[in-house]
Amino acid sequence: PKTETAEAAPSIAAAKAPVTPVSELTPGQLEELKTRAAKADEHWDRLLHTAADFENFKKRAARERIEAAQSANAALLLKLLPVLDHFEMAQTAAQTAEVPQGGMASLQAGIAMIQQQLKGILAETGLEEIDATGKLFDPMLHEAVSQMETADAPEGRVVQQIRKGYKLRDRLLRPAAVVVAKKPSAPPAT
């Protein structure tokens, strides 16, 4: 720190010193000024070049981020297209065919297979269901929509899951909507 101050002090003092006209400078001083001016110009050009490189880097990084997100979305959508096709085939089959004896069970089994296929694809991408039933209420994973007086579960436990919650890897996408147990109120004294 002291050397920086010592080095900076002469430049500050030189900046405050009265300006000597060029005609009074010796040839050595004039040459030194030209050298310093050339170095200052060189440093200024280098600064401008570095600033331009940094701006280009920021633009390129932003463009690459967008392209990576679009590529990831495209890959996921390509995996989901067969599921969409299977849903459409199931809907067509349900509308056009008269359901014979046992046909409804077959249709339900087909839809269950499509659901499992979709869940498998989403699990590959890192999607994880939050199973809340019977667990201790966690405000980081659950959204309490109501409370239920019950003696069947300890207070603060989830007694019913209204809507599933989901996490994408370690990030919460949607909390599970739950009903939380609370102690039954004492009967009114008569």
Task: Please say whether the beta carbons of 154 and 128 come within 8 A.
Answer: no
Along the chain (190 residues), what's the average pLDDT of each consecutive run of 10 residues? 50 62 81 93 96 96 88 79 82 68 74 88 88 93 94 92 89 93 76
The pLDDT of residue 1 is: 47
Q: Determine the Cα–Cα distance for residues 22 and 39; give it in Å rounded to an integer.
A: 19
The pLDDT of residue 92 is: 78
Angstrom distances, CA of residue 40 to CA of 18, 45, 47, 126:
21, 9, 10, 54
